[in-house]
Structure 1
Amino acid sequence: MSQTLVDYQLLIEQAKAITADEPDLIANLSNLSALINETLADVNWVGFYLTRAPELLVLGPFQGKVACLRIAFGKGVCGTAAATRQTQLVEDVHQFAGHIACDTASNSEVVVPLIVADQVVGVLDIDSPSVARFSPADAAGLTELGRFIESLDWSQLQPSA
């Protein structure tokens, strides 16, 4: 369960403010991961995995410990969010079939797919060391934040091998 209530509308307004005058996508995603990390209590990893090849997520800007580098669509919580195009709210990652343990300290997770021009361009991934840290309200607020993140200039993201 959430440790504190988060004002997601305020978080989205802050996200808009810090990205308003910056056209660079990676700079914006870097600051957004820092903003989310500072705003949410009881999280140990916040960041982005970006679609860099067909059906493949590659580590992008993040805050936290060293992370998995590549995740195939359909694998783990991040890959499931990308493949299903649905936000994943996982109370206990150890009960999630196929969970990829990048950090064994993580126990719950929310992953929001980011979709631009009907293509999954990446996911927003947030982990917590606490079981059931995230509520449905958190998932809804983070999904709404994801809709804002989709409005950034993703044309700079060029797929790589």
Structure 2
Amino acid sequence: MRYEDNLIYYTQEVCLNGHQLWTDSDKNKDPNPVQYCEDCGKKIICTCQECNSPIDGQILDSENLYPIEDDPSVPNFCRHCGMPYPWTVSIMKSTIELLNLDNSLSNTQIESVEKSIPDLLVDTPRTKVAAVKFKQILSGTGSIVKDGLRELLVDVVSETAKKMLFP
């Protein structure tokens, strides 16, 4: 738990595949903490693997102790160093792997998508461009790859990208 700008930040526990275990792990100091995800068996982390900063979970107003956000989501990137979390890296790699299964796409097209994935995951000035590029390249893929990409990305892309890619 840390204090910053009249807010209390609790630590979130997430497995390496992105399954959320706790959003307020500082409150739940178990003498025998769970170390592996019961959904997938992967190790549970509560800090960035790059900079060792805590993964922010529930945020409370320190004056009245009310939650700022009722159900914090699993973040894609560390707010302290900007690096993607392991589950985000896995999504990016899986997206490229799926695109490589479609023989109709060129290496240039796949590289173009690879560069635009970070802009699909968070809203940036380039999100709309990335979504149009992704949609254009996706139009040339087979239905199996399209369906796989939709299932992989629908829950993790930004709201702007989601509206454009999966109306």
**TM-score, length of structure 1 as denominator length:** 0.31
* Structure of higher RCO (CA pairs closer than 8 Å, 6+ residues apart): 1
Structure with the higher strand share, 1 or 2: 1
**TM-score, length of structure 2 as denominator length:** 0.30
